[in-house]
Structure 1
Amino acid sequence: MSQIVIISGSPTPGSRLNGLIERVEGNWKERGIEVGHIRVADLPAEALLHANFKDEAILAALGQVEAASAVVIASPVYKASYTGILKAFLDLLPQTGLKGKITLPLFIGGTIAHLLSLDYALKPVLSVLGSRNILGGVFAIDQWVQRLESGGFELTGELSERLDRASEELAEELAWLSARSNA
């Protein structure tokens, strides 16, 4: 299974959030780290909303989280919080579903006023789910991510540097975790 699983809470396939995700994923793949994805919007809506733990897609997604050493929680910010679809998925995780896992939040919003959504909306939920190693995370403003006509995204230099530092920090934590478990 993947060492890192990225949970994307964007309801929009072409979201600028994908620019952030692609940047960190590329950094990890260059290091040979396996990365998996859960695009919550791709899960069966009825199974997600009714917490159908017998649904194969839901079980597979929960299995990815369980097997991963690190979890990236990625979401656009709407009304000062992460998306409802992401909340619906996080509600399916067991009470200790993030215990022993490194977590990295990646958020994008329309204004810097939503910056505190990481600390006040997401981090308490991650803590309740058992995560004790919550990295600082990266918050981006929509304007810092441009969609390219040819496809893909262009990030500002500062955002790219911040994402590179965050992905490096997670990789270092994974290496430390691996060395500790092999000792």
Structure 2
Amino acid sequence: MAKVTIINGTPTPGSRLTAVISLAEELLVKEGFEVQHVNVGELPPEDLIHTKFESEAIVKANALVAEADAVIVASPVYKASYTGVLKTFLDLIPQKGLAGKIILPLFIGGSLAHLLSIDYSLKPVLSALGARHILGGVYTVDSQVARTDQGGFDIAEELKGRLEDNLKELAEETSRRIASAELAQ
């Protein structure tokens, strides 16, 4: 079974991004993927800030990334870029730690003004970590993920459609890559 690790870069539990990640996981499970999570906001702050590569929590998180066939990097947009807590974790991924993986960025921001933050802030860092197959990604605005009176979220149909399309591409590319690797053996 193919594995996807979702790196959740939000420091805020219950953010709108959580709803997007939950929908992504639901769609991936339907496609037959095993989904694992690295919630960066739950990693020990000391380990992140002091770049403790040998920390048990960091070693476990990096193992989830290493064993994944595909990685989703999700973050809210703050100050025209992904979160600082996500950057501290990306700094702890080993050099070439994303080599051979299909990568899908998922960003959420307050407006379309930061639509290109995936291309200009995240993709260069992912490339430095060895990622060579980075999909276009999904950028959404807060208004497409509305909070309900019951404490849940209502995701706009347009966003659901874009997310489905991008996750199908992720599934196809990952399956193709796995099949190629199996033939090579």
TM score, norm. by length of structure 2: 0.96
Structure 2 residue identity aligned to 1:11: P
> Quick one: percent identity of the two aligned structures?
55
Count of aligned pairs between the two proteins: 183
Structure 2 residue identity aligned to 1:160: K
Task: Confirm or deny: 8 A CA contact 2:76 2:107 kept in the other structure.
Answer: yes
Task: Confirm or deny: 8 A CA contact 1:145 1:155 kept in the other structure.
Answer: yes
* CA–CA distance in structure 2, aligned partners of residues 121 and 2 of structure 1: 28
Greater mean deviation of Cα atoms: 103-112 or 153-162: 153-162
Task: Confirm or deny: 8 A CA contact 2:9 2:75 kept in the other structure.
Answer: yes
Report the Cα offset of residue 2 of structure 1: 6.7
Over the aligned positions, Cα root-mean-square deviation in angstroms equals: 1.2
Aligned: 1:90 with 2:93: no
Task: Confirm or deny: 8 A CA contact 2:109 2:142 kept in the other structure.
Answer: yes
Report the Cα offset of residue 127 of structure 1: 0.7
Structure 2 residue identity aligned to 1:120: Y
In the TM superposition, 1:20-59 aligns within 5 A as 20-59=20-59
Report the Cα offset of residue 58 of structure 1: 0.8
Structure 1 residue identity aligned to 2:74: A
- Equivalent residue of 2:179, what SS? helix
Indicate the residue corresponding to 1:154 in structure 2. 154
- Equivalent residue of 2:7, what SS? strand
In the TM superposition, 1:1-183 aligns within 5 A as 3-183=3-183
TM score, norm. by length of structure 1: 0.97
Task: Confirm or deny: 8 A CA contact 1:2 1:67 kept in the other structure.
Answer: no
- The gaps in structure 1 that reach 5 residues or longer are none
